[in-house]
Structure 1
């Protein structure tokens, strides 16, 4: 697993975890009314600062911790695994099906969901129980920054949220600048091998790859994660193959199904086949900078990021 010490980001995260006396006073005081519009265009009205929050998506959980709002979390989904402290929270099933009765029994004042993972139709159930359900969408880096700020506003941790966004966007710009004049190697990001699924032009990974100085061979495909044939993969002639997975045998599984690829793909011939940590690349959360750094070090190893991001 790729792990980097990001000094500026770490400072912001630690800052968000510190006690904020003014925020504590605000959090304990009722609000007249605050209105928020989520990413499926539903308006959610909060009568007070949420004190019992359930996160149904791992990236949202990470964001809450990163801005110092973890004391408001009462439960998390079964796939929320970072930071380690979150594992001590009660878990509720959130994918592929949501344990709605279990959530209702916890009486949360705010439930956070991802429109990429969860069907917005579930809001009918929450509405009937008078529970606040808020959807967030994460298709771009700007979506991440915007929604971190929204979480900060909802939980009344705006200062820490704004500082985190400033830190992330600043580091993103430094990385983009470092790769701007580099050769953009043609790359395919493979998400699955049976069938072959790749990251298309509509995916978050497409933007991440571009910022890391790569060129997505399937950027012209609007679908986020299209299915392709082995013939299409050969025609794309990728110089790099990236596998964002915990399964370090995925390339071997691909070759077992399509043996000729090992001698037909430039990436294979040049040994430019890499497994990358999915939680910092596929998961659009506060560790996206770690994901960018990991990709830069694979695609452009001569770029020295040591001063900014020690290994």
Structure 2
């Protein structure tokens, strides 16, 4: 009898043990999976990047449009875009975890996803420090902590280094131009404003109530920012694009100081791991604006 009991115990110990895993998402809600997630839907480009960085790229069953980084993400099946999900395809994929981002037009679609009774994690980093936190929590849900934890630690160290170097530098008032027709910017509630803070920058429209408000050229002129930033895609990285409109106002501080800058939009407009690199590029441009105070450049600087 003792032999039988010992054999049974050994058999049970040999079986894979999967305890339920619970983390809290960016809303503070508990998200529980019965076992490490294997079939995940990443319903925003930044989420795809987070999952890859956390060691779970091979577990992503579906993505949305513009999920193009890293290169392997381009081969993953798409289940829609930020306007509409293909619910039939999503159901057929039988996901065991859905990672969402709640944007302005997403409420109806998210409500449909909740009817599937699949665990849903809301990823919505508000500060740069939330990005490595997301990586760690998603790593826990996938059981890939051995990849996610050191990757998150490395990102935190990089962010700490940037903050130590730039946050206490003389402040630079800046305007961040998301789009020029109409003229969109971001408020202090955006994670991009946190990147500005890390760099010693001050968002001239930080007090706006809407995260992505429309402003007027007259409003920008009244604020008279010392630097103006716009973002570019890879295809037009060498073009001045929407920044050219400001050259019609030579008395504008950003024009006088030669501080019209373009940055890689994929790095700053996505709250994924690469955003810390985007913040580093922003910091470098703001430092250039500080240098222009002492010796304004004559030629266009970009």
Is residue 2:173 matched to residue 1:163?
A: no
1:41: Cα distance to partner?
A: 5.3
**Aligned with residue 140 of structure 2, among 139, 146, 153:** 153
Query: Larger C-alpha radius of gyration, 1 or 2?
Result: 2
Are the structure 2 counterparts of residues 54 and 109 from structure 1 closer, same or farther at C-alpha, using a change threshold of 3 Å? same
Residue pair 2:21, 2:140 contacting (<8 A) in 1 also: no
Q: Name the TM-score, length of structure 1 as normaliser.
A: 0.79
Partner of 2:207: 220
Are the structure 2 counterparts of residues 249 and 170 from structure 1 closer, same or farther at C-alpha, using a change threshold of 3 Å? closer
Are the structure 2 counterparts of residues 129 and 203 from structure 1 closer, same or farther at C-alpha, using a change threshold of 3 Å? closer
**Aligned with residue 177 of structure 1, among 164, 180, 183:** 164
Are the structure 2 counterparts of residues 189 and 73 from structure 1 closer, same or farther at C-alpha, using a change threshold of 3 Å? same
Q: Name the TM-score, length of structure 2 as normaliser.
A: 0.81
- For 1:150 and 1:117, the matched residues in 2 are separated by 25
- For 1:235 and 1:210, the matched residues in 2 are separated by 22
Is residue 2:121 matched to residue 1:128?
A: no
- For 1:141 and 1:268, the matched residues in 2 are separated by 29
- For 2:100 and 2:123, the matched residues in 1 are separated by 6
Residue pair 1:243, 1:250 contacting (<8 A) in 2 also: no
Unaligned 5+ runs, structure 2: 1-14, 291-302
Larger RCO, structures 1/2 (Cα 8 Å, 6+ apart): 1
Are the structure 2 counterparts of residues 51 and 120 from structure 1 closer, same or farther at C-alpha, using a change threshold of 3 Å? same
Residue pair 2:187, 2:209 contacting (<8 A) in 1 also: yes
- Deviates further, 170-179 or 41-50: 41-50
Is residue 2:57 matched to residue 1:97?
A: no
Partner of 1:279: 266
Is residue 2:61 matched to residue 1:53?
A: no
Partner of 2:190: 203
Unaligned 5+ runs, structure 1: 1-27, 304-311
- For 2:215 and 2:104, the matched residues in 1 are separated by 22
Partner of 1:299: 286
**Aligned with residue 230 of structure 1, among 175, 200, 217:** 217
- Note the aligned Cα RMSD (angstroms): 2.6
